[in-house]
Amino acid sequence: MQCSAIFYRRPVRFLLLVLFSLLASFATIGAAPTTPSKFSKMKTRPLASGKSQAAPLSKARLVQMSRNLQKLISPRHTAAKRSRSVTLQNALQRLQKHPIVLPHPIQSTTPARLKIYRNEHNETPIFISGEALHTFRPKASGALSTAEIALAFIEANRTLFKLDHPAAELKEVEAFQDFWGKQHVKFSQVYEGIPIWGHEIIAHLNPDGTLYGFNARYAPTPRGLEVHHVKLDRQAAIQSAVANLQKTTKVETFSPALQKVLHYTGPVAKKYIWIDVQTQKPHLVWHVQIRPNIRDNWTYFVDAQTGEILEKYNATQTEGPTTANAVDLNGVTRTLNVYEKDGVFYMLDASRPIWQAQQPDVLNDPKGGLWTIDVRGNDLNEKAQLFHVTSNDNTWNDKVSVSAHYNVGQVFEYYFNTFGRKAIDGKGSTIISVIHVTDNGNPMDNAYWNGALMAYGDGNTDFFPLAGALDVAAHEMTHGVIQYTVN
């Protein structure tokens, strides 16, 4: 029989019934419950796997399903006999115009039975645990190393790890066994053979060689990054970094003996990929290391295409008082006493004789210091937030903070050297200066002592920033001295 031949009612009913049964069975497997329809009363029974299949149907039920299907295909159907027969071609055309939409289960790309925490900036996993790790078995003959087992899991879950070619993008750098027999293997991330700065994945295995966890900080495979041709060569990157550092720090030349001790003969540059934390944009960079003196160890990241200095910091971990030079509100270069902790400089003077040896919370509750903090153009009230005045490279551009900090030091010296007075209260308590204070949201034409600290406005109609005047600092501190000495 040709396809164009006419099917009469019983063959059509049977054919459509078969089609419907197939569609219904597919729709019920793994599908979520849907809105009740005229077929929603069909019974199902669970399979061993937890899915479902259509239950056996009686002859009467088949006839009823056929009638329902006819109604679905032909909305104009009535109880009366049709005046014409339905062809297969007509039925398919109607289905094409009014398709039956079946629900589809959502397919997850994440392996089941895993607990995953992700990086908020790029959605890569930063911690993975779960049963799927314990039960993972690589398909390989012979014994595998810890690195091979870890890589096999990552390869099997490339989508989860967001890596195109894990075996080529991860380089084993360390493997060790701890006291309890557990094994750990660390990979550094590379791209086209170039290491990505600070990016790594660490796998953890039980003594029996099964995985139990991953922790990581890395990025997805870089896109659109040119790494084979650079516009800035190694020497030019070094010169750029040295010139920048010389603006704030004297760069010394070491004797042969010191060079041997430090394993340093001069600035060095190596090629890396540096990824901006916020934008996640990758850059090909020159990583430049400079030791300007015995103490400091500066790191620069210079864009190999544009020459821009993307990041710099002093890698020497230090803590304690140091000095800086900065210009105040009067255009005078002042020497400031500041405090350095972990490569960050704070406007905290810890050089005075009142500084206490024990500092439980040196940054947030210094004992015996001269401390300048910032309210950042807000009223000093119960809702105010106070901020440290800081610098990453010991350069200070806020002239108000420079003046306030320098002047309070001068007044402290006067009282200590002339009267032997240890701070405002005479007991060596910390002297606090708060800058950029406003009054009802407006620039403040005033400065004051409130019994606990000195507050400086930036001036409005009558004054320039009041922190610039030494006599203002002396005036406000004297209010405090009087408070603690006069009944």
**Is pLDDT of 51 > 70?**
no
Question: Residue 223: inside a domain, yes or no?
Answer: no
Closest-CA residue to 157 (of 191, 116, 195):
116
CA–CA gap between residue 301 and residue 208 (Å, rounded): 42
Residues 329 and 451 in one domain: yes
Q: Mean pLDDT lowest for which of 266-275, 315-324, 432-441?
A: 315-324
What CATH number corresponds to the domain at position 354?
3.10.170.10
What CATH number corresponds to the domain at position 289?
3.10.450.40
Asked whether 184 and 178 are in contact (CB, 8 A), the reply is yes
**Is pLDDT of 25 > 80?**
no
Give the CB-side neighbour count of residue 255, counting CA atoms within 13 A: 2
Question: Residue 23: inside a domain, yes or no?
Answer: yes
Residues 287 and 326 in one domain: no
**Is pLDDT of 42 > 50?**
no
Residues 140 and 187 in one domain: yes
**Is pLDDT of 480 > 80?**
yes
Residues 248 and 379 in one domain: no
Question: Residue 108: inside a domain, yes or no?
Answer: no
Q: State the DSSP H helix or E strand holding residue 284, giving kind and residue range, or none if neither.
A: strand 282-290
Total structural domains in the chain? 4
- Note the helical H segments in 175-294: 234-245, 256-262
Residues 362 and 426 in one domain: yes
Residues 403 and 375 in one domain: yes
**Is pLDDT of 44 > 60?**
no
56: phi then psi, degrees, rounded to nearest 5: -55, 140
Q: What's the pLDDT score for residue 61?
A: 59
Q: What's the pLDDT score for residue 317?
A: 73
Residues 18 and 76 in one domain: yes
Residues 397 and 435 in one domain: yes
Residues 198 and 247 in one domain: no
Residue range 295-313, pLDDT digits in tens: 889 999 999 999 999 999 8
**Is pLDDT of 48 > 80?**
no
**Is pLDDT of 225 > 60?**
yes
Question: Residue 279: inside a domain, yes or no?
Answer: yes
Residues 376 and 260 in one domain: no
Q: What would the mean pLDDT of 305-328 be, rounded to a whole number?
A: 90
Q: Mean pLDDT lowest for which of 62-66, 76-80, 152-156?
A: 76-80
**Is pLDDT of 114 > 70?**
yes
| Residue after which a domain boundary falls, among 191, 217, 243 | 217
Residue range 338-381, pLDDT digits in tens: 999 888 999 999 999 999 988 989 999 999 999 999 999 999 99
What CATH number corresponds to the domain at position 125?
3.10.450
Residues 429 and 347 in one domain: yes
Residues 359 and 477 in one domain: yes
Question: Residue 397: inside a domain, yes or no?
Answer: yes
Q: Which amino acid is at 184?
A: H
- Percent share of the chain, pLDDT over 70: 77
**Is pLDDT of 106 > 50?**
no
**Is pLDDT of 384 > 70?**
yes
Q: What's the pLDDT score for residue 486?
A: 85
* Averaged pLDDT score across all residues of the chain: 83
| Residue after which a domain boundary falls, among 285, 314, 343 | 314
Question: Residue 107: inside a domain, yes or no?
Answer: no
Question: Residue 222: inside a domain, yes or no?
Answer: no
Asked whether 399 and 334 are in contact (CB, 8 A), the reply is no
pTM score over 0.85: no
SS3 156: helix
**Is pLDDT of 204 > 60?**
yes
| Residue after which a domain boundary falls, among 217, 252, 269 | 217
Domain of 282 in residue numbering reads as: 234-314
Question: Residue 2: inside a domain, yes or no?
Answer: no
